[in-house]
Amino acid sequence: MTFLFKRNPKNPPELIKALNEQVLKLDYNSDSNKKYQDECSRFLKQVKVILHGDDENEPQPDQISQLALEIYSTDCLYNLMVNLKKLDFDSRKDVVILFLTLLRRQIGSKSPTVEYILNQKPEILGLLIRGPESSEIGLICGQILRDCIKFESINKFVLHSSLFWNFFKYVQISIFEIATDAFITLHDLLTNHKKLVSEFLARNYDNFTSSINKLIQSNNYVTKRQSVKLLSELVLRRQNQAFLNQYFDDTNNLKLMMILLSDKLKNLQIEAFHIFKFFVAKPKKSQKVLDVLIKNKKNFIAFFDTFDIQSDSTTIDERDYVLGEIMKLPDIVRSE
Amino acid sequence: MSRVHSADELEVCEEVGRGGFGVVYRGIIKATNEEVAIKQIDLENDQTDLFEINKEIQIISECRLEQITGYLGCFVKQYKLWVIMEFVNGGSLFEMLKPGPIHDERTILIIVKEILVALEYLHNQGKIHRDLKSQNILLSKGGEVKLTDFGVSTQLSSNFSRRNTTVGTPYWMAPEVILNNNGGHSFKADIWSLGCCAYEIFNGKPPLQNHFPPMKALRQISRCHNNEDFVNIIELSSMEISSVFRDFLEKCFIVDPKERFSAIKLLNHKFIQKYDKSTEKFKLVKSLITKKQLWDQENHVIKNHNFYVPTEMVKNQKKWRGEDDEENNQFQFDISLISGFPPSPKTSRESSRSPGGQEKSKSPEKNNASINLQSLMKTTTKQDQFKKTIRPEFHRILNKVFHKLETKNSLTTQQYDLLVSLNNDLLNLFSFTQSSDPNEQGNYKKILVFQHLKYFLKEISKSNDIETYGPSNSKVILQKLIIPSNFNVGQRQVSEATPERGGSIREFDEIENSLFESWIDKMNEKWA
């Protein structure tokens, strides 16, 4: 009940000022760090009440707009992001609520927070992208970033940042939830805005393919499976045509899928099949791809004869189609 | 407790439960001797969705509260995900109710209060538990009460949005969840479920369970439009409880979620405020556990001890049984034509021409596997393996059958004793037979009790004589009495073998898709 005895900020601007003050004082090495943390936590809770109300009070629009203006003009979000790790465990989650509420706020057709971030403090995005580097705040940053990239302009900014490629490292971090969280963000970055991504993939074919292929070759089951799944999702998109044409002409990719098809684990096999089928179904195949398919004709026929797909009738139809296409391929004629 | 990073840090002990996602074992951190719960999730299982699992882990990793089971880390081992949680050693509230309902209102309020504290914490962060019931409330021998199992819980990214999916367990479900109206799931659904738990503690069963099967109960709940409706069906007024407790339940069972009390408001309710001596808190919960232990002893409930068997062993056994099949399924493609990959196979033309040419990057793995196999073969014979792996499982199933019989029927002492001895006999018949057939392969011997059961099932399920004898045939009657109507051997996944938790949710989903939706439509039409 400490707050009963302390002076409380009277209005939203004062509250944000007080919050900023305490956030900037946070310091691991200081003896009074705990005191600053508690103060931050207290102010953040009050911010939350202004934004969402509580049992007795409904949120007041004019209070919210005062609060937002003060937050932009004092770079409060930036301050919070820089010092996120120094806040206590539960306060960090209040930062998420504050950030996301502001992010969703619209005035007419404008999203003031999105504009603020992109025009005034894009450094915030850099901090968010690099979140997985810290096990303490990785999940918090992931949560915020995923909400940010729902806005196409921010998604574009992230894709065009050199930091984007860090995600291929982050998804291999040994802490499971951090790695998976980074994967979800990577997935969202590449699937939220179709047109944006199709341009991106077309321009970055080499870089992207080698990055995702490395993940597919990972020893970690989860990394392997998630990356194949992401790839098959991208491959299903007609918008990604330019990328697909290159991808399915590349025998390296074909080889990778053949290795996965021969994997012992059923789910990996099936995921691989959903990419492999496009190599076979593509109308104009590159000569190299055709060569590999022809040379393995017998193997494929034997393989698909026994390829076990449980009760999923579309996949069975697809398998039969693939098998039929392979049968139509010419046999190898021995040249001796 | 610090974070657990790998399986090497743990000793895995007996199975303690099964959830929708997988098996839970008790474990011990080798370095510190602390007990932990290990939840193993089979990622190759078709039912599991990595994104869903991740959501659950995110939610539990974000909770640090005395009243919520703590998260200690997770990691992938082969194709299984191990989630390490705090181990709560007393058992679930559901177990505590087996000896009978609890009428002491102080005990009820202590449990309810602790859960309210947990809910207040969750709701404040925009999280909804969505499957609150007695099975998900755990008690420790030290007297603590903890909320667990966030399998279907959800995170609202904004306090304004709501989840639109129907999850939960029928008897504990709020009307708005069933009807999916008022925007579907909100925090207040947890409060309704809490009310059901409080009712359950006092009555031994959640509301309506004694009178209605799950689907009928859902219908009853969804028909409640006024606050009195539900209170009347569950006959709240005839319960012999204090007026504050009755009032508390009424506040939980307010039909309109907006009007229903929030966790913070209920924490200030007179019922919760009535007794608040923290010393008593531990004592009362502890005495519940002692009562259950005594009851277990009196009723000869034997704690199951299923010791953990690493999957590799079970898999190897499968290999021994059907090695030829394995070979056929293993397939190698010729990828020698493709260059530019580091683990490139032989590039000479000879090898590339032979169909099914060995692919180099795969073969070392295979060798390793066969070495493992051989070393295992040396140290343990197949019979020992069976005793270690199959017998405990068989024992577990027998125990389960026994408990089911016992809970569904009121057995006489004689029946009870006969069943106990029958189970023991079956277990004692777990012995290897000498095969009379000299051609039988090597040391592959059969187990007597399983042969017995197999022959029995074969005999009973022979269907060809139905036509000859007509439906009044005594064998048909026997069949009907013995063979479950939905019997299809081999189709069911292991995780589905225990329908209590995961099963009931899935079952409901199916029904929801067919019967239930059309019924709701009809109802909506009526009101429109």
The pLDDT tens digits of the residues spanning A47-74 come to: 988 988 877 778 888 899 999 999 999 9
Position A208 pLDDT exceeds 50 = yes
**At B185, is the pLDDT very low, low, confident or very high (cuts 50, 70, 90)?**
low
Q: Do B335 and A177 touch (CB under 8 A)?
A: no
CB burial of residue A332 (10 Å; 0-12, 13-18, 19+): middle
Rounded average pLDDT over B106-111: 90
**At B168, is the pLDDT very low, low, confident or very high (cuts 50, 70, 90)?**
low
The larger pLDDT score, comparing residue B45 to residue B26, is at: B26
- In angstroms, the separation between the Cα of residue A176 and the nearest Cα of chain B is 5
Nearest CB among B62, B157, B329 relative to A306 is that of B329
**Does residue A264 sit at the B interface (CB-CB below 8 Å)?**
yes
Residue A309, domain member (yes or no):
no
Determine whether B104 is an active site residue: no
Give the residue on A whose Cα is nearest the Cα of B329: A306
Residues of A in contact with B341 (CB under 8 A): 252, 255
The larger pLDDT score, comparing residue A233 to residue B432, is at: A233
- In angstroms, the separation between the Cα of residue B83 and the nearest Cα of chain A is 10
Give the residue on B whose Cα is nearest the Cα of A296: B334
Q: What is the pLDDT of residue A120?
A: 94
Q: What is the pLDDT of residue A27?
A: 86
Nearest 5°: CA angle at A98, between A96 and A100? Answer: 65
Among the ranges given (A229-243, B127-141, B382-396), the one the predictor scored with the smallest mean pLDDT? B382-396
- CA–centroid distance for B107 within its chain: 27
Q: State the Cα–Cα distance between residues A225 and A237, nearest whole angstrom.
A: 19
Marked catalytic residue, from B131, B190, B276, B417: B131
Pairing of strands B80-86, B35-42: antiparallel
Q: State the Cα–Cα distance between residues A245 and A256, nearest whole angstrom.
A: 17
Q: What is the pLDDT of residue B457?
A: 83
**Does residue A263 sit at the B interface (CB-CB below 8 Å)?**
no
Which alpha helices (DSSP H) does A192-220 contain, by range? 194-203, 205-216
Q: Do B44 and A267 touch (CB under 8 A)?
A: yes
**Does residue A139 sit at the B interface (CB-CB below 8 Å)?**
yes
**Does residue A301 sit at the B interface (CB-CB below 8 Å)?**
no
What is the phi-psi region of residue B21: left when phi exceeds 0, alpha when psi lies from -120 to 50, beta otherwise?
alpha
SS3 B83: strand
Position A167 pLDDT exceeds 90 = yes
Q: Do A177 and B78 touch (CB under 8 A)?
A: no
Residue A52, domain member (yes or no):
yes
Residues of B in contact with A97 (CB under 8 A): 125-126, 159
Chain segment A100-133, per-residue pLDDT in tens:
999 999 888 899 999 999 999 999 999 999 999 9
Establish whether B39 is an annotated binding residue.
Answer: yes
CATH topology of domain B7-86: Phosphorylase Kinase; domain 1 (3.30.200)
Beta bridge partners of B27: B12, B36
Residues of A in contact with B356 (CB under 8 A): 298-299, 302
Give the residue on B whose Cα is nearest the Cα of A223: B76
Nearest CB among B329, B340, B356 relative to A252 is that of B340
Q: Do A291 and B359 touch (CB under 8 A)?
A: no
Summary mean pLDDT of chain A = 89
Rounded average pLDDT over B54-81: 87
End-to-end CA distance of chain B: 56
Cβ under 8 Å to B: A residues 166-225: 174-177, 180-181, 184, 220-222, 225
- Selection from A219, A150, A199 nearest residue A227 by Cα: A219
- In angstroms, the separation between the Cα of residue B355 and the nearest Cα of chain A is 7
Mutate to test the interface with A, among B56, B62, B117, B352 (most CBs of A within 10 A): B62
Give the residue on B whose Cα is nearest the Cα of A300: B333
Beta bridge partners of B86: B36
Q: What is the pLDDT of residue B489?
A: 44
Rounded average pLDDT over B501-509: 41
Chain segment B380-409, per-residue pLDDT in tens:
456 667 777 777 788 888 888 887 887 777
- CA–centroid distance for A263 within its chain: 27
Position B31 pLDDT exceeds 50 = yes
Residues of B in contact with A226 (CB under 8 A): 50
What is the phi-psi region of residue B470: left when phi exceeds 0, alpha when psi lies from -120 to 50, beta otherwise?
left
Structure tokens of A299?
A: 């193997």
Total CB pairs under 8 A between chain A and B: 113
Residues of B in contact with A176 (CB under 8 A): 57, 73-76, 81
Q: Do B341 and A295 touch (CB under 8 A)?
A: no
Residues of B in contact with A252 (CB under 8 A): 338, 340-341
Residue A173, domain member (yes or no):
no
Q: Do B337 and A292 touch (CB under 8 A)?
A: yes
Q: Do B54 and A52 touch (CB under 8 A)?
A: no
Q: State the Cα–Cα distance between residues A215 and B219, nearest whole angstrom.
A: 49
Mutate to test the interface with A, among B49, B311, B329 (most CBs of A within 10 A): B329
Determine the length of chain B: 528
Rounded average pLDDT over A164-188: 94
Domain count, chain A: 1
Q: What is the pLDDT of residue B337?
A: 52
Type of residue found at B207 = P
Q: Do A90 and B262 touch (CB under 8 A)?
A: no
**Does residue A266 sit at the B interface (CB-CB below 8 Å)?**
yes
The larger pLDDT score, comparing residue A185 to residue B46, is at: A185
Domain range holding A77? 1-121
Indicate if B91-298 has the same CATH topology as B7-86.
no
Among the ranges given (B114-123, B147-156, B295-304, B462-471), the one the predictor scored with the smallest mean pLDDT? B462-471
Rounded average pLDDT over A89-103: 93
- In angstroms, the separation between the Cα of residue A165 and the nearest Cα of chain B is 22
Yes or no: say if A92 and A140 are a contact pair by the CB < 8 Å rule: yes
Residues of B in contact with A292 (CB under 8 A): 335, 337-338
Q: Do B265 and A296 touch (CB under 8 A)?
A: no
Position A75 pLDDT exceeds 90 = yes
Residues of B in contact with A264 (CB under 8 A): 330
Give the residue on A whose Cα is nearest the Cα of B325: A306
In chain B, what are the domain boundaries? 7-86, 91-298, 494-527
CB burial of residue B428 (10 Å; 0-12, 13-18, 19+): exposed
Chain segment B322-379, per-residue pLDDT in tens:
433 444 444 566 665 555 444 433 333 333 333 443 433 333 444 444 444 444 444 4
Structure tokens of B124?
A: 């404040």
Residues of A in contact with B126 (CB under 8 A): 97
Residue found under tokens 């994104």: B51
Position A299 pLDDT exceeds 50 = yes
Q: What CATH number corresponds to the domain at position A92? A: 1.25.10.10
Residue A112, domain member (yes or no):
yes
- In angstroms, the separation between the Cα of residue A180 and the nearest Cα of chain B is 7
The fourth-level CATH superfamily of domain B91-298 is Transferase(Phosphotransferase) domain 1 (1.10.510.10)
Yes or no: say if B385 and B377 are a contact pair by the CB < 8 Å rule: no
